[in-house]
């Protein structure tokens, strides 16, 4: 899981420190629970499909993302995308991979604030985390 520096007590990825919950305004805390930018990155070897088990909440009425499609979005290193529907509650999402080997990224559905529980290959291949990458893509200050 990338893009989630903290986790809530119930296993949801967060963008803000849970220790700050009482200090932050309620709407700011609510935004910290939206999984924008949170993703699962993995390397597949000999895998045709993966399953992600997750628990998700219904969209909040005040959530600006509530009209956004509730989907897991799979991206390849070539940029190809595939969407898999998601729903509130405890479910398993099956995602077909476009090819059996390579690096993949799955973005979580923002509207449902899901907590991924497990990612597993369906056909006996292997899944490993993507190696760490540089965290910043900007140039050092003062360079053009």
Rounded CA separation 128/10 (Å)? 25
Structure tokens at 130: 């993507």
Q: Is 64 helix (H, G, I), strand (E, B) or coil?
A: coil
Query: Which has more pLDDT, 68 or 84?
Result: 84
Residue-wise pLDDT for 90-122, tens only, equals: 999 998 999 999 999 888 887 787 878 888 999
Give me the mean pLDDT over the 43-63 stretch: 85
**pLDDT computed for residue 92 by the predictor:** 93
Residue-wise pLDDT for 10-22, tens only, equals: 666 666 777 777 8
Could you tell me which residues come within 8 angstroms of residue 54 by beta carbon, excluding any fewer than 6 positions away? 86, 90, 91, 92, 93, 114, 115, 116, 117
Rounded CA separation 112/119 (Å)? 18
Query: Which has more pLDDT, 27 or 143?
Result: 27
Domains delineated in the chain: 37-129 (2.60.120.260)
**pLDDT computed for residue 120 by the predictor:** 92
Which residue in this structure is represented by tokens 């956004």?
Answer: 68
Rounded CA separation 34/13 (Å)? 9
């Amino acid at each position: 899981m990338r893009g989630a520096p903290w986790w809530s007590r119930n296993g949801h990825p967060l963008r803000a420190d849970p220790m700050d919950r009482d200090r932050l305004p309620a709407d700011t805390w609510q935004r910290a629970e939206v999984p924008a930018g949170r993703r699962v990155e993995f390397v597949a070897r000999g895998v045709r499909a993966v399953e992600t088990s997750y628990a998700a909440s219904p969209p909040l009425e005040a959530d600006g993302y509530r009209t956004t499609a509730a989907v897991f979005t799979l991206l390849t290193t070539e940029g190809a995308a595939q969407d898999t529907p998601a729903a509130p509650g405890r479910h398993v999402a099956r995602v077909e991979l476009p090819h059996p080997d390579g690096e993949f990224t799955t973005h979580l559905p923002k509207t449902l604030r899901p907590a991924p529980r497990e990612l597993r290959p369906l056909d006996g291949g292997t899944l490993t985390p993507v190696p760490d990458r540089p965290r910043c893509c900007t140039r050092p200050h003062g360079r053009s």
